[in-house]
Structure 1
Amino acid sequence: MASHRKLRNRTNRLRTSQAVGITTAALTSVALLSQSANAAPAEPKPSLEDVQKKVDALYRQAGAATQKYNSAKERTEKQRKHVDGLLDQVAKRTDELNDARRALGSLAAAQYREGGTSATANMLLADDPQQLFDQRQLMSRLSDRQQKAVNDYKDLQASATKKRSEATESLESLTSSQAELKRSKQTVQKKLGEARKLLSELTAEEKARLAAIERKKEAEAKRKAEELARKQAAEAERKRKAEEAAKEKEREEQESGSGSGSGSDSGSSDSYAAKAEKVISFARGQIGKPYVWGAAGPDSYDCSGLTQDAWKTAGISLPRTTWDQVKVGTTVSVDNAKPGDLVFFYDDISHVGIYIGNGEMIHAPKPGTNVRVESIYYMPIHSVVRPA
């Protein structure tokens, strides 16, 4: 009997354990189903085209932020030099003021030794001689030399106060420029970080497809550049024939004695061509150097740093940012672009390259790339400017 009871107890425990397990599994399944039903549907993965557009937009935004950084950096450097100059002037004025104070002290001591009035000595030693300056009875006792010492002290004191005030204002302006510089730097780094993150999340297959899209874009840009080169070549040939015809006519008129000897602008064109040759030669020498935002050479460049350094070789001083460079010189049409001209891109004018002819330019494209030759149609053109 005892053995039957033990067997029955074990059987009951086994059945209870199985029932608990089944119930737990059922409850878990219900919970999982409930969570699945309540969970928000996963967002669809963006298409490769969308990723490319977003990456390009981020690089553009980083380019615009880089120009802000360049502008703030240039302003900060100028302001720092101005502040340093003012502080030097303040120190100089302070030294001169101390010298004048010592001169007043010497005069006062001499008067004391000679038995002069204490009121006059007090005036010469006062922190603010102007308060006593208007007292005619005291001024009448001063010699011309003493009066000059008082006047010099008064002028130096006013000058020192003014320079201290200017230095204080300039320091506040410098602090503001430094804060803007820091914000612009953070914006650049943020945009570049977002672009790198998007690219890092692509699979090997997606990266290959993205490269194919880029090649297609480059091919289309090249086609447009070749089309422009043919158009410009035809226009150049037309101008050459027109110039030859004009010269032939001028010779005939001179032979007949009716020539007017009219001049031409060939001298100006030759001068620009000579400058452009220097600019392009320099730019070609930078091909292969890395793009670094905020850099202006000699080991790395951003877009406007390259154009600024290149035109410097031709004796032309360009501003630091694309926004200021676009205002220098004469705006020309794309069809009339000449080698050496600056080509600006995008509505926000955040990029620039140096035109070298045949629809091509040398430029510093973006982070992760090097200075290179590329079609001007790779990006939407804003304008073309001839700096000299």
Structure 2
Amino acid sequence: MASHRLPKQPSRARVTVLTTAAAAAVALSANAANAAPSPKPNKDEVKSRVDRLYEEAEKATEEYDGAKEKQGKLQQEISTIQDDVARSQAELNELRDSIGLAAASQYRTGSIDPSVQLFLSSDPNDYLDRASTLDQLSAQQVQALKKVQAKQRELAQQRTEATEKLKDLAATRTELGQKKKEVQGKLAAAQKLLNSLTTREKTALTAEENRASRESERSVLGGNTGTASGRAAAAYAAAQGKLGTPYVYGASGPTSFDCSGLTSWAYAQAGVTIPRTSEAQATIGTRISSASDLKVGDLVFFFNDLHHVGLYAGNGQILHAPRTGAVVRYESMDTIGGPFMFGVRV
């Protein structure tokens, strides 16, 4: 006969726990529904966040520039090594052909040297390592085989070097892609914040920047600061000719620039080659520790990691490519957003 069992009833403790959990869930839902939305950031808050994002983007830009420069150098080095490999291979083939011709001549006369037979059927490196066989060779044959051996070793070394350079190039290209993605992400986040502003707020921000730039320009024109050297004057004049040119990350002129792109381009116009990135530019020339000792045309560096550089314009102002969305302009050293670290006189 079938047994009919009643279903087990939940315990009082279990019921209490479930009831409490349900009540908490309802309360949380109600609170979430009734919670006021986060207040929209005002113009000054947005500017502060955007400035921070632009600073982070510029830091990533300098790292991107460094990776890009390294990629170019590696490509040149690889091209040179590949040319060397091709030349060495041709020389090796010529050496082998000359020995082969000698062997063919001996074969036709029926007097082929057993040492030449051995060379034609094995690696001359192994053959020459057997000192006991050297007495079977003429001095001319020994010299020919040693040339082959040396050329083979040189060729192997060149190919190994090329392989390592290609690995380094692949890693650099990966780094380049990552830095590019990082820069684009920072810029997109900054643009999203700017898009949250009203038209009136955007206009006010632009007006503030333009006013500050005009004040800096007046300060520069009214200053009486000496120029470091003839080439510094030429570099500074070249940069002045690019006032109003847009900032574009990774650009080095002549129609757009990032910060170190502008300074390297300007000095190139003066006939002076300086490194591409701000960090590398900080290692050249004569360091100027005090801002009061700066002269027009000196390189000036900001932030602890030196990710921003400009040209000193006199009277506490710099001429620089500031950030995305801005143009080459004058600006007070006090408003860069990071501390002045030092100057460099090229």
> TM-score higher than 0.5 here?
yes
Q: Deviations over 1:332-353 (max 9, x none)?
A: 3112221111222223322221
Post-superposition shift, 1:284? 1.2
Matched, 1:91 2:91: no
Matched, 1:273 2:229: yes
AA at the equivalent of 2:162: A
AA at the equivalent of 1:49: D
What corresponds to 2:252 in structure 1? 296
Distance change >3 Å, CA 131–CA 40, structure 1 → 2: farther
Matched, 1:325 2:281: yes
Which of the residues 52, 66, 76 maps onto 1:81? 76
Q: Deviations over 1:198-234 (max 9, x none)?
A: 1112122433454466578x399859x95x999x86x
Which of the residues 21, 26, 33 maps onto 1:39? 33
3-state SS of paired residue (2:330)? strand
- Residue correspondence of structure 1 range 130-279 to structure 2 within 5 A: 130-135=125-130, 138-211=133-206, 214=209, 218=212, 272-279=228-235
AA at the equivalent of 1:370: V
Post-superposition shift, 1:111? 2.1
What corresponds to 2:10 in structure 1? none
State the identity as a percent: 36
Which of the residues 272, 276, 286 maps onto 2:242? 286
What corresponds to 1:29 in structure 2? none
Post-superposition shift, 1:37? 4.3
Gapped regions of structure 1 (runs ≥ 5): 1-31, 237-268
What corresponds to 2:343 in structure 1? 385
Post-superposition shift, 1:195? 0.5
The TM-score with structure 2 as length reference comes to: 0.82
Gapped regions of structure 2 (runs ≥ 5): 1-25
AA at the equivalent of 2:135: S
AA at the equivalent of 2:343: V
What corresponds to 1:364 in structure 2? 321
The answer to whether the Cα contact below 8 Å between 2:235 and 2:266 also exists between their aligned partners in 1 is yes
The answer to whether the Cα contact below 8 Å between 1:58 and 1:192 also exists between their aligned partners in 2 is yes
AA at the equivalent of 1:352: V
The TM-score with structure 1 as length reference comes to: 0.74
User: Which structure's CA Rg is the greater one?
Assistant: 1
Mapped partners of 2:165, 2:134: distance in 1? 39
Post-superposition shift, 1:106? 1.4
AA at the equivalent of 1:314: A
Distance change >3 Å, CA 325–CA 202, structure 1 → 2: same
Matched, 1:351 2:308: yes
What corresponds to 2:264 in structure 1? 308
AA at the equivalent of 1:73: K
Mapped partners of 2:140, 2:27: distance in 1? 103
Distance change >3 Å, CA 168–CA 303, structure 1 → 2: same
Q: Deviations over 1:330-381 (max 9, x none)?
A: 2231122211112222233222211122222221111122212222222134
3-state SS of paired residue (2:306)? coil
AA at the equivalent of 1:344: F
Q: Name the count of aligned residue pairs.
A: 318
Q: Deviations over 1:101-158 (max 9, x none)?
A: 2122112222222332563232231341232335556433322222221111111111
Mapped partners of 1:335, 1:67: distance in 2? 27
Mapped partners of 1:91, 1:334: distance in 2? 54
Distance change >3 Å, CA 45–CA 147, structure 1 → 2: same
Mapped partners of 2:130, 2:31: distance in 1? 96
3-state SS of paired residue (1:373)? strand
